[in-house]
Chains A and B, each alone.
Chain A
Amino acid sequence: MLIQFFIPSKLSSSVYNEITNWAQLIYAFALIVGVFGLVKYHLGRVSRKSDGWIYNLVTVVSLFLMAFLGFAFGRKDGGAFMWIFNYFQAPMQASVFSLLAFFVASAAYRGFQARNTEAVLLLLSAVFIMFGIASVGNSIPPFAEIANWILMNPSMTARRGIFIGVGLGTIAVSLRVILGVERTYLGKE
């Protein structure tokens, strides 16, 4: 992958594509192992009648039902598979995502309590940015300009500092993997 970054030739890109195809194949087989583990775990809880075992049963039944519908009738629009996906799974995922709004509110309430000078600065920044980005505040010139200045200067400066740190950390991890200095992720010392 590292060599491919510097060699733009067709041979280099075909080797890269071949390796990524193999990664996809490995992922597909690992998915089978993962699903096997999932079924084993949930069936184990059902057989032991652990707390909430009925939910484990729902998981296993849903898994096999979706697999059966997908293999037997395909994934065409209007089919049972897509009907369950559109009217069960998609709304449930949207519901979990929508929880984020409430969690943001509770986290903001805790985070913006003005306990000390830094917290007051954070609170003021948040007020300017929230008003500056919201449609009502955007029409008030100072809010929009101050919000933009905060985002483009102090906020961007801090983020770039983090990016540099993350970039260097990534290089360090990659070198440790390439040089074999650290093999914990392989299950070895």
Chain B
Amino acid sequence: MRSLLWFSVITLFLSPLVFGFGLRVADYPNDDGTRLVISWEKLPPPELEAADPDSYILERSTGSDGDFAPAAVISKLDPTLTTTDQDLNKDEKYYYRLSCTSEGIVWVSEPAGPYTPVENWYNTGRTNVLIGILLTGAMVGWFISQGKKGRSQYLRPIAGLLALDEAIGRATEMGKPILYSSGRGSMNRPASIASMNILGSVAEKVASYGTPLIFPNNDPVVTAVAQEVAREGYTKAGHADKYNSDNIYFVTDSQFGYAAAVDGIMMRERPATNLFFGTFEAESLILAETGNSIGAIQIAGTDSSIQMAFFIVACDYVLIGEELFAASGYLSGDPQVVGTLKGSDYLKIVIAILLVIGALLGLLNQTWFVNLFVTA
């Protein structure tokens, strides 16, 4: 009987003490079924208030009495009282418990579960984006249909694009080439697509004047696209024979290697006009200042607000913000393309109204309106 009592005492100290503890598990919203959110009550639990350990271990198992393995270490100071368990399987059932070893006592909470992560097929946190895209699409679509019907639509003059003819004419008169650069963007960037669209119009114009167009490239895919676009431009102008694919070539994908190469071309070829349209990074000022030093007329447009500042200082004309994306419609005059520009212009008015409403409601401490635009 005495030995049985000792055995019970020893067993009690070697086995963990299991306590009820408020461990809550929920599915992670809008995910691919690989995450669960685990939250807990304020630590320490009543049994450990005296010991007050610094950290606890969150353990996970696929069975309530199975082998629990550590999933995360939880600090008692964690103010969120929440953690996310990742890389789970949506076909498994999971149990969770907290454990802690303090002053020789192994404390574990009662297992919570089973819980299974749910795979979501629609991200409800992005409904506002979907509504925005549908509204934008509808507005742009309506203006495109207006364009198809042949209704004329006014576009405000853009100084940088009005100067394009003058810049090309200047290069022609001086008998010097035109240098074109689309920067460092790959073809999946809207700024690169916009740049290719501008290149089409530029190629058409230079083909008519017989001015050489040099386009050193940073991306091999952009090179291939640019060659096709320029060839089409020359063909449209009726001067396909003047197109020289050797003038549009890949240089390097290294950022400063590209900057050095384009600078070198500027210093050797002395172009009368430099056109910088696309995605630019730190090389923007290196290119624009070198162009400035050789006295070239320079027109630039980029989607980066930081690089735009450098271009404004060093170039003669700069397309600001959406003007880069508007350029192709402006140059081609295609009523359908112009329709998309009108659509985005009207959207700008809508956004301005929403901003004013949001600012006014914000001043009245009403945040619900701003929260409508928060995405997950």
**A positions within 8 Å CB-CB of B:** 2, 5-10, 12-13, 23, 26-27, 30-35, 37-38, 40-41, 44, 51-52, 55, 89, 92-94, 96-97, 99-100, 103-104, 106-108, 110-111, 159, 161-166, 168-177, 179, 181-182, 184-189
> Which chain B residues have a beta carbon within 8 Å of chain A's beta carbons?
30-34, 90, 119-123, 126, 129-130, 133, 136-137, 140-141, 144, 186-188, 190, 193-194, 196-197, 199-201, 217, 219-221, 223-225, 228-229, 231-232, 236, 246, 249-251, 253-257, 259-260, 264, 268, 282, 285-286, 288-290, 303, 305, 308, 310, 312-314, 320-326, 328-329, 332, 334, 336-337, 339-341, 343-344, 347-348, 351
Q: What is the CA–CA distance of A165 and B137 in the complex, to the nearest angstrom?
A: 16
- Decide if B121 touches A96 in the complex (CB within 8 Å): no
Whether A184 lies near B328 (C-beta < 8 A) is yes
- On whether the beta carbons of A107 and B314 are closer than 8 Å, the reply is yes
CB pair A9–B119 under 8 Å, yes or no, is yes
Q: Which residues of A contact B326 (CB under 8 A)?
A: 169, 172
Residues of A within 8 A of B312 (CB): 111
Select which of B224, B310, B343 is within 8 A of A107 by beta carbon: B310
Sample of 15 more A-B contacts, CB < 8 Å, known A8-B30, A33-B224: A5-B126, A6-B123, A34-B219, A41-B246, A44-B246, A52-B268, A92-B256, A93-B257, A107-B310, A111-B312, A162-B320, A179-B144, A182-B336, A186-B225, A187-B232
Q: Among A52, A100, A159, A189, which residue has its beta carbon within 8 angstroms of that of B286? A: A100
Shortest Cβ gap from B110 to chain A (Å):
32
Q: Is there an interface contact between B232 and A7, defined as CB atoms closer than 8 Å?
A: no
A30–B253 CA distance with the chains assembled, in angstroms: 12
B334 touches A182 (CB 8 A): yes
Chain A residues, CB < 8 A from B200: 184-185
Our count of residue pairs bridging A and B at CB distance below 8 angstroms stands at 210
Nearest residue, chain B, Cβ from A111: B313
A8 touches B31 (CB 8 A): yes
Complex: how many Å from CA A161 to CA B344? 14
In the complex with contacts A8-B31, A169-B324, A173-B190, A181-B340 CB distance below 8 A: yes
Distance in angstroms between the alpha carbons of A13 and B45 in the assembled complex: 41
Residues of B within 8 A of A52 (CB): 268
* Residues in A neighbouring B144, C-beta threshold 8 A: 179, 181
A37–B286 CB distance below 8 A:
no
Contact with A6, one of B126, B186, B268, B288 (Cβ below 8 angstroms): B126
B347 close to A184 (CB less than 8 A): no
A7–B250 contact, CB under 8 A?
no
A169-B322 in contact given A164-B351, A181-B336, A181-B337 (Cβ < 8 Å): yes
Whether the pair A6, B122 counts as a contact (CB closer than 8 A) is: yes
Cβ–Cβ contact A103 & B220, under 8 A = no
The 4 residue pairs across chains A and B that have the minimum distance between CB atoms: A34-B220, A165-B321, A169-B325, A187-B228
Closest chain B residue, CB of each to CB of A38:
B250
In the bound complex, residues from chain B placing their C-beta under 8 Å from that of A35 are: 220, 250
Contact yes or no, A23 B126, CB < 8 A: no
Q: What residues on A are CB-neighbors of B199 within 8 Å? A: 184
CB atoms of A185 and B322 under 8 A apart: no
In the complex, A55→B260 CA distance in Å? 13
Give every chain B residue within 8 A of A176 (Cβ-Cβ).
337, 340
Shortest CB-to-CB span from A51 to chain B, Å, is 7
Task: Check B308 against A10 for contact (C-beta < 8 Å).
Answer: no
A170 and B303 form a contact (CB under 8 A) = yes
* Nearest neighbor of A51 in chain B, beta-carbon distance: B268
Query: Roughly how many angstroms separate A161 CA and B322 CA in the complex, as a whole number?
Result: 10
* A177-B122 Cα distance, complex, nearest whole Å: 25
A2 / chain B contacts, CB cutoff of 8 Å:
133
Contacting pair A8 B337 (CB below 8 A) = no
15 A–B contacts from the bound complex (CB under 8 Å): A8-B121, A13-B32, A26-B221, A37-B223, A89-B254, A100-B285, A164-B351, A169-B323, A170-B325, A171-B140, A172-B140, A172-B325, A181-B144, A187-B228, A187-B231
Residues of B within 8 A of A165 (CB): 320-323, 348
Q: How far is the CA of A9 from the CA of B249 in the complex (A)?
A: 41
Is A30 a contact of B305 with CB atoms below 8 Å?
A: no
Shortest distance from the beta carbon of B268 to any chain A beta carbon, whole Å: 6
Please indicate the chain A residues that have their CB under 8 angstroms from the CB of B323 in the complex: 165, 169
Interchain CA distance A12-B324 in the complex, whole Å: 32
What is the bound-complex CA distance between A8 and B337, given in angstroms?
A: 33
